[in-house]
Amino acid sequence: MNKPTRAERFSGLSVAIVTPFRDGRVDEKRLAEQVGFQVASGVKCICPVGTTGESPTLTHDEHERVIAESVQAAAGRLLVMPGTGSNSTAEALRLTKHAAKAGADAALVVGPYYNRPTQQGIYEHFKAIAEAVDIPICVYNIPARTGRNIEPETILRLAEIPGIAMVKEATGVMDQASQIIAGSDLTVLSGDDSMTLPLMAIGGRGVISVVGNLVPADMKSLIDAFDAGDLARARQLHHKLFTLCRDLLGLASNPIPIKAALRLVGRDTGEVRLPLVPLEPPLVEKLRKVLVDYGLRLA
C-alpha cells in the first residue's frame, strides 16, 4: 500500500507531448489533435513545452501560446502541467505566472541549466517560483541536460515549501529517488520511461512519458497493473515496452526519434527545429523495425 503523497491527483500517466511544427511555425491544429489523442487514451495529464516539446527553440511568444492552446484544447478533460523552467529565475517566474493565468493545473520547472548554480542557488530559485504562484510546482531534475544535479538534500529542503508538490526524477539514480521518497511526501514521477516500474516499486507514483506520445495505452496499463497489485502483468508490460523506450531515447536526442516514429505511424507532427535535425535514414530504418517488432502498424 503506497503512502499518500502531496499531489496524488497527478499520479499515473502524464505525457510530455511534442510541439508540432509546420513550415517553421507552431502547427496549432495538429497540437489540438495531439491533445485530443491523449484525452481519448485516458491519460491523466499532458506536459507541453518541456524537453520533448522543444522548448529551448521556442520564442517567448510561442512558448506562452503553446501553453494557452494546450489548456484550451484540454478543456478540463485532463490535467495540464507545462514546462516553465529557465536558467533565469526572472524568466521562469514570468512563464510560470503565465501558465497559472492561462489555467494550467501545475508547472514543470527544470533545474537551472548552463550557469551551474550552487545548491543554495537552486533552492532559492525554486523557492522564489513556488511562493509567487498558486499552482503546484514539479521540480524537474535531469542533470544530464542541465549540468547540475539537484541533490536529494536540496529537494528535501524544498519539500518544506507548500508550493513544491512533485519531482520529475530523471537522474536514473535509485538511491537518490529512495532518499526523496523516504524523507518526504512529495509525489515522485519517473522522467525515464524504462524506469517507471522500478521507480514505482520504491514508492514513485507514475511517469512523465515520452513513449506515451506513441503508445499511451500500454504505459497506462503498466501503471494500472502495478497499482492493482498485478506485478506479473506490470513486469510483462515493462519488458514489452523496454526496447521501444530505449530506442526512442537512444537513437538520437529526444524528441528526434519520437517525431520520426509519429511520422512512420501516420501521425506526422512536422519537422524538428535547428539545432536538432531529422533522424538519419539508416536510423529511420532501424526505428521502422523497432516499431514493427513492437506490433505497431506503419502508415
Strand, coil or helix: 25: strand
Q: Among residues 48, 63, 51, 40, which one has the least CA distance to residue 15?
A: 48
Report in angstroms the alpha-carbon separations of 255 from 27, 50, 55. 16, 10, 11
C-alpha 218/C-alpha 241 separation (Å) is 8
How far apart CA 183 and CA 153 sit, in angstroms, is: 9
Active-site residues: which are they?
140, 168
State the maximum Cα–Cα separation within the chain, in Å, rounded to a whole number. Answer: 50
**DSSP SS3 for 52:** coil
Q: Looking at residue 268, what DSSP letter applies?
A: -
Give 112's contacts (C-beta < 8 A, 6+ positions apart): 85, 86, 87, 88, 89, 92, 121, 122, 125, 146, 148
Q: Which amino acid is at 104?
A: A
Of residues 161, 173, 175, 153, the one with CA closest to residue 132: 161
3-state secondary structure of 132: coil
Q: How far is residue 246 from each of residues 19, 195, 242, 254, measured CA to CA in Å?
A: 21, 10, 6, 11
Examine residue 255 and say whether the peptide bond preceding it is cis (omega within 30 degrees of 0): yes
